[in-house]
C-alpha cells in the first residue's frame, strides 16, 4: 500500500471522527474532535503498541523463560533482515497472534498460549514469519493507529447517542444523528477492512518466503480459522477495534462488530499460498516439506522439537 493511499485512509478515519464531533457539538465539536484526533495520532505513534499489548494481557518473555519461542523469533527475524523484536505471550486459549510497534526498531510480536499449544513448530514459525512481514512492511504502525481511532469513533458515537448531539436547526435532525452515529463505527470498520485485507495477502507472501515454506503458514491459517470460531477471545471481544491486527479475526461473531470481517477469506489466503508454494518449488525456492508434527508432539508440550529451515 502506497503512502498516499495510507494517508487517504487515515484522513478518512479523522474525517469520521470530526463528523461525529459535529453531530455532538456543531462546528465547535468538529474542531474539538480534530484536535483530539491529532492528539490521538501523536499518542498512538508513541504509545499505542503498549496500549494494545496491555488490552490483551500480553506479558514480555525472553530467552530465559521462553527459550524455544524466543530463539525462533530471533532466527526468523535474522532471515527477514530485521532487528530482534520484543516477544510477548498472551494467556489465551484461542490460537492467534499479532505484531505491533511504530517501526522495526521498536516492534513486538505477541502470540497466545493457545497458538503455542495447538500448532506444530513449523506452523508456528509460519505465523511468526507472517507477523515479522507486517513489521518489515511497516504495517504495524498503521494498523495500531487505525485501531486506536476506530475505537475512539465507536466510543464517541455511543456517547453521543446517550447524551444528544448538535441541536442546530441546520443539522441532520434527531433521526439523522442517530443514523450517522450508528453508521460512523461501521464506516470506520470499512476503512479498517480496506487497510487490513490488502496487507494480509502481502504479509502472507513475505512470511512464507521468510520461513521458506508457504504450506507451513497455510496449515497454520486453517487451524487458527477453525479454532477461532470455537474458542472465544474475551479480550478481543471487549476491544473489537483491534481485531484487524490479528493474523485471523479473533471475534466469535457474538457481537455486532463482527458483521463485517476485517480479514480476507482464509480459503483465499490458503489458495494464494498454495500457488506460491508451487512457484517456489518450481524455482527451487524451498526445501521439500516434511509432514507437520502433531500439537501433542510439538516442542511446546514437552516433545522433541524438529528443526526447520530457520536453524
DSSP string for residues in 150-170: HHHHHHHHHHHHHH-----TT
Helix orientation angle between 121-136 and 173-211, rounded to the nearest 10 degrees: 120
- The average pLDDT across 257-274 equals 78
pLDDT at 301: 37
pLDDT digits (tens, 9 = 90+) for 266-277: 999 999 999 999
Residue 245 CA: distances (Å) to CA of 139, 143, 282: 9, 6, 33
Handedness of CA 247, 249, 252, 254 (dihedral sign): positive
For Cα atoms 104, 110, 113, give the angle at the middle one, nearest 5 degrees: 160
pLDDT band of residue 291 (cuts 50, 70, 90) is very low
pLDDT digits (tens, 9 = 90+) for 9-65: 667 767 777 776 776 667 776 777 777 777 776 776 777 788 889 999 999 999 999
pLDDT band of residue 152 (cuts 50, 70, 90) is low
Task: State the DSSP code for 1.
Answer: -
Task: State the DSSP code for 289.
Answer: P
pLDDT digits (tens, 9 = 90+) for 94-150: 999 999 988 899 999 999 999 999 999 999 999 999 999 999 998 887 776 666 666
Active site residue 131: yes
Query: pTM (2 decimals)?
Result: 0.74
Burial class (CB in 10 A: 0-12, 13-18, 19+), 162: exposed
Residue 47 CA: distances (Å) to CA of 53, 76, 101: 10, 26, 9
- Identify the active-site residue in 131, 200, 205, 225: 131
Q: What are phi and psi of 161, to 5 degrees?
A: -65, -30
Amino acid at each position: 500500500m502506497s503512502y498516499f493511499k495510507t494517508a487517504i485512509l487515515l484522513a478518512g478515519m479523522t474525517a469520521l471522527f470530526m463528523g461525529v464531533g459535529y453531530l455532538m457539538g456543531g462546528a465547535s465539536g468538529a474542531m474539538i474532535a480534530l484536535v483530539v484526533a491529532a492528539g490521538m495520532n501523536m499518542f498512538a505513534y508513541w504509545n499505542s503498541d503498549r496500549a494494545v499489548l496491555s488490552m490483551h494481557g500480553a506479558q514480555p518473555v525472553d530467552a530465559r523463560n521462553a527459550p524455544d519461542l524466543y530463539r525462533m523469533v530471533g532466527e526468523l527475524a535474522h532471515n527477514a533482515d530485521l532487528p530482534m523484536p520484543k516477544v510477548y505471550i498472551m494467556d489465551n486459549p484461542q490460537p492467534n497472534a499479532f505484531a505491533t510497534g511504530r517501526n522495526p526498531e521498536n516492534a513486538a510480536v505477541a502470540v497466545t498460549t493457545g497458538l503455542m499449544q495447538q500448532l506444530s513448530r513449523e506452523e508456528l514459525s509460519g505465523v511468526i514469519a507472517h507477523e515479522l512481514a507486517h513489521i518489515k512492511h511497516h504495517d504495524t504502525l498503521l494498523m495500531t493507529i487505525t485501531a486506536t481511532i476506530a475505537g475512539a469513533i465507536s466510543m464517541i458515537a455511543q456517547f453521543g447517542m446517550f447524551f444528544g448531539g448538535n441541536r442546530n436547526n441546520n443539522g441532520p435532525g434527531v433521526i439523522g444523528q442517530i443514523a450517522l452515529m450508528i453508521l460512523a463505527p461501521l464506516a470506520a470498520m470499512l476503512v479498517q477492512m480496506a487497510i487490513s485485507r490488502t496487507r494480509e495477502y502481502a504479509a502472507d507472501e513475505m512470511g512464507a518466503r521468510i520461513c521458506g515454506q508457504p504450506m507451513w503458514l497455510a496449515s497454520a491459517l486453517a487451524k487458527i480459522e477453525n479454532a477461532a470460531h470455537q474458542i472465544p477471545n474475551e479480550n478481543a471481544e471487549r476491544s473489537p477495534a483491534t481485531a484487524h491486527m490479528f493474523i485471523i479475526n479473533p471475534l466469535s461473531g457474538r457481537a455486532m462488530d463482527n458483521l463485517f470481517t476485517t480479514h480476507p477469506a482464509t480459503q483465499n489466503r490458503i489458495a494464494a499460498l498454495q500457488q506460491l508454494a508451487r512457484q517456489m518449488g518450481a524455482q527451487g525456492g524451498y526445501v521439500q516439506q516434511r509432514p507437520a508434527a502433531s500439537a501433542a508432539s510439538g516442542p511446546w508440550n514437552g516433545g522433541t522439537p524438529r528443526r526447520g529451515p530457520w536453524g
